[in-house]
Amino acid sequence: MVSIGPLPVPGRLLLAPMAGVTDLAFRTVCREQGAAGAVSEMISAQALLYQDGKTRALLRREKVPGLYGVQLFGKEPEILARAAKKALELSGCDYIDLNMGCPTGKIVRNGEGCALMRDLPLAGRIIAAVRAAVPVPVTVKCRKGWDSGSVCAVELARIAREEGADAVCVHGRTRAQLYSGRADWDVIREVKRSVDIPVIANGDVFEPEDVPRILRYTGADLAMAGRGAMGNPWLFSRGAAALAGEPVPPMPGVRERMRVARRQFGLALEDKGEKIACLEARKYLSWYLRGVPYAGYAREKISRVTAAADVERVIDLICRELTGETEDRD
Ligand SMILES: Cc1cc2nc3c(=O)[nH]c(=O)nc-3n(C[C@H](O)[C@H](O)[C@H](O)COP(=O)(O)O)c2cc1C
């Protein structure tokens, strides 16, 4: 079994951190479908130290067992170190992940996220400071580099290893690429060859078969899926089957999809209250209908839910109209 520091990882596919997506409710359903670990949405170190409420709510740990990392972003070693301590204290997370890959304009303009790949000495000081501040493993998530002329994932991974990081996760795209083109798995392979800490391969794991493919191709210890898991937590159970060389079960039908969507919504309701849970459900409920024929009318209804009762009604409608049967609610 692969370990991150002393932590054994119960599987080989992790859920990637995604702001606005991987909240407590979604992390829970992914874990229930076999995700070996999950990472919080990215959390501003500065906001965690100096503001209340919203930022702290992002930290809450899901109740189902499994590896949980909190991801922090920032640029000042001292602030990140203090924030890491606080995140650990408040959440009881298993490890701290440092964001060095976020490409968003307002983050990189501020010298944070992927901008740290343009200042490797500072990235190193951040890793060292956080390493010294917390007793749990520290991981670094980066991209291939800033742009095609400044590919530096290998260099950053070496620095991370030197400064005491316990694993490094590489998304095989540059900042300039954002999410376009194909992820470069060769660079992940190079990173794996260059460091002796676990490497997590990330980028374009969309189908169950991609899990053994990315692991074999890159030699990485673990894989991580982001967009492919949206509305599709079965990527984890089906990916595990593919990895074990077993027949991959087909995508579940509408009934099972709606069972899990209802569960995700119920958890979100508990965690965030009706107003926010409903606004967010407008986005992710539709994802559960990917590939389902004649779903246009249901999507239209989903885009207008404002109360928990609307969500229940639209899920019932989907179960009735798109499967010809009403879902069991036991
Ligand atoms: C909506 C969205 C939000 C994201 N938010 C984060 C984030 O908060 N922290 C992070 O490190 N990466 C974030 N990412 C990047 C993903 O973690 C991942 O590296 C990227 O999507 C590539 O993996 P994939 O091809 O499996 O989606 C985000 C990606 C998306 C699509």
Closest CA to 302 of 292, 293, 315: 315
CA gap 179, 256 in Å, rounded: 30
Residue nearest to atom 14 of ligand 1 (CA): 18
CA gap 252, 23 in Å, rounded: 23
Positive or negative CA dihedral for 142, 148, 149, 151? positive
For residue 104 the two structure tokens come to 């968003």
Cβ neighbours of residue 259 under 8 Å, at least 6 residues apart?
Answer: 327, 328
Is 102 among the catalytic positions?
Answer: yes
Residues 212, 240: contact at Cβ < 8 Å?
Answer: no
Distance 318 CA to ligand 1 centre (A): 29
Distance 57 CA to ligand 1 centre (A): 20
Q: Which atom of ligand 1 is nearest to the CA of 97?
A: 11
Q: Which atom of ligand 1 is nearest to the CA of 16?
A: 17
- Going residue by residue through the chain (330 aa), what tens digit of pLDDT does each one get? 999 999 999 999 999 999 999 999 999 999 999 999 999 999 999 999 998 778 989 999 999 988 999 999 999 999 999 999 999 999 999 999 999 999 999 999 999 999 999 999 999 999 999 999 999 999 999 999 999 999 999 999 999 999 999 999 999 999 999 999 999 999 999 999 999 999 999 999 999 999 999 999 999 999 999 999 999 999 999 999 999 999 999 999 999 999 999 999 999 999 999 999 999 999 999 999 999 999 999 999 999 999 999 999 999 999 998 885 444 443
Q: Which atom of ligand 1 is nearest to the CA of 143?
A: 19
Catalytic-labelled residue, pool 30, 102, 169, 319: 102
Distance 150 CA to ligand 1 centre (A): 21
User: pTM here?
Assistant: 0.96
Distance 178 CA to ligand 1 centre (A): 10
Residues 11, 42: contact at Cβ < 8 Å?
Answer: no
CB-based burial label for 282 (10 Å; 0-12, 13-18, 19+): middle
pLDDT digits (tens, 9 = 90+) for 45-67: 999 999 877 898 999 999 998 89
* Cα atoms in the Cβ-side hemisphere of radius 13 Å centred on 326: 5
Instruction: Tell me which residues have their CB closer than 6 angstroms to ligand 1.
Output: 16-21, 41-42, 71, 99, 101-102, 141, 171, 202-205, 225-228
